[in-house]
Structure formats: C-alpha cells, structure tokens
Amino acid sequence: MRLSANPVTDNLTEVLCKIQDFTVQRHRVLMANLAGASDPGYRPLDLPVEEFAAIMDMAVTEHTRSSRLLFCDSKNVKFGPAITCSAQPVLDSHAADLLSKNKNEYIEHQLSKLSENTLNQKIAAELLKIKQGIPNTLNAIQL
C-alpha cells in the first residue's frame, strides 16, 4: 500500500515506492504459501528478492554516477509507468524441500520470511513518511 497518490517528486521517493510495491506483492505470495501448506503437491513460490535487490543497487549506483534513476527490467521483475513494479513469482526449491520433509519447519521458514518482508515494508513506509514530512513514530522514540 502506497502512502500517497501524489506524483513522484524525487528519486528516493520512487525507490521507496518500488520497494513497497515489491513487498506488498511478496506478502501475497508468502501468505499463499502458508495457505497451501496442507494441499497435496503444493509448490511454494517466492519473489526473486536477490534479483530485485540487484536492480535497486544498479539504479542507485546509476543515480549516484549520473544523477538519473534508471530501472532496468530483468527476467522476473518489470517496471511500469510512474512507480509501478511487477515481479513474477519463482519456485522456492528450499521451501519445497522443507515442505516435503517437515511441515512445521516449512511453516516456521515462511513465517520468518513474512516477518522479514513486513519489516522491509515498514522501514520503506517510515522512510516515505519522513520524506513526505508526515510525523512518524521514529521521531517519538528517544534513545
């Protein structure tokens, strides 16, 4: 879920919006993995996290080098107009192996991935709030 429907005003906002898009899509895939755990022959999927991270790294590197932000499509990750991002789920062979051997470990693995994804989504959301001048919970924390 994006925090704002305003047009992207800078490159950092665009990167954060793409991260949010990706994490929302990944959340759906991971929830489907949990729902399908009891289905015979279910094959768990995941989004290509490393592929997405590499694209983000290349985009930020290009921005640092030339002051322009360039998102390049890859095999499983495509970028659309404005701030849209679409990722194609891929087979998660490690999760499939866990599911076939130990359903409890599989569930724990999926919950761990879901927690990691949720944290990434919350960090991107908080950074977007800061960028947009919206008060955030981080300002209230005193270390």
Cα 90 from Cα 87, distance rounded (Å): 9
Residue 64 lies in a domain: yes
Give average pLDDT by consecutive 10-residue segment, the chain, 143 residues.
43 89 97 97 97 94 87 92 85 98 98 98 93 67 50
Q: How many structural domains comprise the chain?
A: 1
Predicted TM-score (pTM) of this structure: 0.84
Per DSSP, the chain holds a count of helices (H) and strands (E) of: 5, 4
pLDDT score, position 133: 80
Residue 137 lies in a domain: no
Alpha-carbon distance values, 5 to 9, 16, 106, 117, 137 (Å): 11, 14, 37, 23, 21
Query: What is the extent of the structural domain holding 108?
Result: 11-128
Can you give the pLDDT at residue 9? 54
What sign does the CA torsion over 14, 15, 17, 21 have? positive
- pLDDT value for 41: 94
Predicted local confidence at residue 138, as pLDDT:
54
pLDDT at 112: 98
Q: Which residue has the tokens 């290009």?
A: 62
Q: Does residue 6 lie within any of the structural domains?
A: no
2 domain-assigned: no
Do the domain assignments include residue 26? Answer: yes
Q: Are 30 and 110 in contact (CB under 8 A)?
A: yes
Hey, how many other C-beta atoms are within 10 angstroms of the C-beta on 36?
16
How does strand 85-87 pair with strand 77-79? antiparallel
- Give a yes or no: residue 88 inside a domain: yes
What are the distances in angstroms from CA 73 to CA 16, 23, 51, 106?
Answer: 17, 17, 10, 31
Residue 57 lies in a domain: yes
Residue 1 maps to a domain: no
13 CA to centre of own chain:
15
